[in-house]
Chain A
Amino acid sequence: MTRIAVLGAGHVGPVIARVAIEAGYDVSISASGDPAEIELITQVLVPGAEARWAADAVADADLVVLSIPLHKFATFDPDLVAGKLVVDTMNYWPPVDGVQELFDDDRFGSSEIVQRRLARSTVVKTLNHLGYHELADDRRPVGSPERRALGVAGGRTAVDLVAGVIEDIGYDTVRLDGLRAGRLLEPGGPVFGVALSRAEFESTVSAEAA
């Protein structure tokens, strides 16, 4: 069984943790400090998950989900996730988050910059382009005509692994080759915040890439 460590207990983290638990994964959740502070949140919002110190949770995890505010990333310790597969759910959207020096470089997508900083981890971008309030509601079983597609961008092997988790959660996936292609999933991009089937998603991103 894949063990997932979700980092972040804000708007997004607990929702991801919950859908992962419901898909049968072994899930822990961590904030920046003492797990006692998020114990109640975990019990009520993510029953079945364990609140843990980030370092302990990551050490035991096969997959780390990074759901912290982007402005906290500049001080996030890369050693914490060295050697790990990291799912980057974060967005850089200056009108909402303000301009951030580390990410203020339009030659690169935000996940490319995350990968550069987390040089000893393997970064995959997904789950960033649908609202956290939709993540649980919009799940559908395989084959449902309403099943939404999510983009998963990164290196081939890592993407296959993460896409498997996303599909178990209740979404189709469209695999994008390389984090560079992950820029298509960013705020302001063609699929951001839009509910699309796999076919619609594929034609939208190929139209954009062309």
Chain B
Amino acid sequence: MTTAVPEAGGGFPLVLGLDTFGDLTSDEQGRPLSHAQTIRDLVEQGVLADQVGLDFFGIGEHHTDDFPLSAADVVLGAIAARTERIHVGSAVTVLSSDDPVRVFQRYSTLNALSGGRAEVILGRGSSIDSFPLFGYDLADYEDLFEEKTNLFAELLKGSPVNWEGKTRASLHDQDVVPHLENGTLPTWIGVGGSPQSVIRAAHYGFSLMLAIIGGSPSRFAPFSQLFHKALDSFGRDPLPVGVHSPGHVAATDEQAREEFWPRYLEVITHVSKTRGFAIPTKQSFLAEVGPHGALFVGSPETVAQKIAANLKTLGANRFDLKYGMGGLSHAALMTNIELFGTQVAPRVRELMAS
């Protein structure tokens, strides 16, 4: 690329990407497709994201019938093999219930396959499905995340690895392979509202990914400040800040809302039983879609304006749209990706440069 990279928060290059939880897709008649078909569709979506010039494609780990994406790195490997430019990563890896050594091995392998395009976003895990599945006690989640983040940071320094802890076997002069080809694996910590996680990210020198899924995004501005101050207090250089929020792009605002709202209502109503979310009303939905809410639903212009405004307010340089919502069709998702890459992203770049 010959054009200058527009600068956003902290002078880091602007990054625009897509995240998915592998939400089960439906056919044109609204009938749910199989897990297998959803996963194959996902590869097509990742390939399209690359073709339309997006910077990042991320897959979040889930273990439920609605989100059958328990092995994100395998899917990312398939996408990596068919693309050349786009970065691929987890969004997020539920580190608390995984083995950091395995996470490192899988993403270092992905890094090798993709020629250095792998990234990891670590999360404590707000959906609990992985805890009972892998035999962890929810009451331990703070300790698990703290210890495993610590080990992951050690692994990133390269072998030999020495580490002691309570949550897995200790490592003594252990060679953990494959080695990272170019010495680094961009690592982020996903934060949903815990200031202590912001401090943790700064402590380990990981970048900060703000997961903003409800309410006013601007209330996260103090989290960016906290991150920068914490980096400074640990004697570290500035690091990038990103934003992850859900949304849906279609040709017009009306179309985007009409496609998204019934699916959103159904999905949130369903998960409200297990996650304690309130069931949305049309009124609360419209507030979230408006300029002060956390849903990025609308025409390319509406969504681009909202992204640019929020990146500026939050001092962030990266935005990942969590696209898709259970029951939307693969075709609607492909249109969303196409519009995001060809219209939203260039418009955000323009707005950020001005």
Q: Enumerate chain A interface residues (CB-CB to B < 8 A).
A: 9-11, 14, 38, 40-41, 43-45, 69, 71, 91, 93, 95-98, 100, 131-134, 136-137, 187, 192-195
Contacts and interface: CB of A to CB of B under 8 A. Distances in A.
Interface residues of B, number: 32
Contacts of B182: none
B128 interface: yes
B222 A40 contact: no
17 contacts: A10-B194, A11-B192, A11-B194, A14-B195, A40-B229, A41-B196, A41-B199, A43-B229, A45-B222, A45-B226, A95-B276, A97-B138, A131-B215, A136-B219, A193-B272, A193-B276, A193-B277
Contact of B196 (A9, A133, A194): A9
B82 to A, nearest CB: 38
Nearest to B214: A133
B193 interface: yes
Interface of B: 128, 131-132, 137-139, 142, 192-196, 199, 214-216, 219, 222, 225-226, 229-230, 233, 272-279, 284
Contacts of A11: 192-194
Contacts of B219: 133, 136-137
Contacts of B278: 131, 192-194
A41 B274 contact: no
Contacts of B139: 71, 98, 100
Contacts of B277: 193
B199 A96 contact: no
B315 to A, nearest CB: 13
B229 A95 contact: no
Given A44-B225, A45-B222, A195-B284, A132 B193 contact: yes
A41 B137 CA distance: 28
B196 A10 contact: yes
Contacts of A97: 138
A195 B138 CA distance: 29
Given A40-B226, A44-B229, A193-B278, A10 B195 contact: yes
A69 B145 CA distance: 15
